[in-house]
Amino acid sequence: MRISSFFYTIKQGIKNIFRNAVFSLASIATISSCLLLFGVFYAMIANFQNIVKTAEEGVAVTVFFDEDVCADDARMKEIGDLISARPEVSKIVFVSADQAWEEFKVEYLGEYAEGFTENPLAGSANYQIYLKDISQQDNLVSYLKTVVGVREVNYSQVTADALSGANNMISYVSIGIIGILLAVSIFLISNTVMIGISIRKEEIGIMKYVGATDFFVRAPFVVECLIIGLIGAAIPLGIINIGYDKLLAIVTERFNVLNSILRFLPIQTINKTLIPISLGIGAGIGLLGSIVTVRKHLKV
């Protein structure tokens, strides 16, 4: 494409936006509304996933050893190395019998622990195993039960199922909502392009008669929709960036108990994914809507 043709295409694309000002504003408003909902939804999902991830990090599978293994530090270390090498494992923490007794005294006995002269948990040395993904718990537990020297494996199937179910639910709901928002946006921007083609039908016909190529005729409509899509994406991004921290401040101020329970993500972390995805969706909606509509309706 020549430089003059390039600037002509950009100029005509911008003109088309103002020629169809009402429909352009409607398209921008719809895309902005859809992407605002998407952005808010994404921020909620990202925080919820962070909360679930934090909860997963606190769920451990505990491995206890046979009595003869508890007296063999080398064997316990060997078992620990085997467990650490598993792909499901994030980290393992060794808890000696003395540590287990000290923790038990503090949590359950308090001053009554003074009556014990010996450690009643002498055979309770264990490994606390933390997983990368709680959904992998069953695979790990099945393996641990086959390790020679392991007496017992403690784990919570209910907790694992609940956290895995929450992650799956988030994924399905996200896909459904994103699909609906994209369909609505593409439908409206297609109508905008169709109106623009109808308004300029005679002018386009003259351009074709004097030798204009299909690309030269279609390009301004693609540019128009691309600009509309990017503007429609930029507006909600600005709103979310302005409102996110203020909303978090209000929530944490009114519900102080949440500060000790939940860890909300900063807007910078949200933006790392939200900005490129929103701009990509905005541009993609514009391009897809324009290309499909132009091919369907631009027959002159």
- Which amino acid does the sequence have at 222? V
> Could you write out the DSSP letters of every residue in 50-98?
HHHHHHHHT-EEEEEE-HHHHT-HHHHHHHHHHHHTSTTEEEEEEE-HH
59 by Cβ neighbours in 10 Å (0-12 / 13-18 / 19+) ranks as middle
Q: How far apart are CA 159 and CA 55, in angstroms?
A: 10
End-to-end CA distance of the chain, in Å?
A: 22
Q: How far apart are CA 226 and CA 162, in angstroms?
A: 42
Q: What pLDDT, on a 0 to 100 scale, did the predictor assign at position 235?
A: 92
**Tens digit of each residue's pLDDT (9 = 90 or more) over 156-214:** 777 776 777 777 777 777 778 777 776 776 676 666 656 656 666 666 666 666 666 66
Mean pLDDT score across all residues of the chain: 76
Q: What pLDDT, on a 0 to 100 scale, did the predictor assign at position 121?
A: 66
Stretch 113-121: mean pLDDT: 61
Judged by DSSP in three states, 179 sits in helix
Q: Which residues of 288-300 are buried (b: 16+ CB within 10 A; e: fewer)?
A: bbbbebbeebbeb
CATH 3.30.70.3040 maps onto the chain at 60-155
- Which amino acid does the sequence have at 188? L
Which fold does the domain 60-155 belong to in CATH?
Alpha-Beta Plaits (3.30.70)
Q: What predicted TM-score, i.e. pTM, was given to this entire model?
A: 0.62
Catalogue the E-assigned strands of the chain: 60-65, 89-95, 126-131, 150-154
Q: How far apart are CA 230 and CA 295, in angstroms?
A: 22
More confident residue, 242 or 168: 242
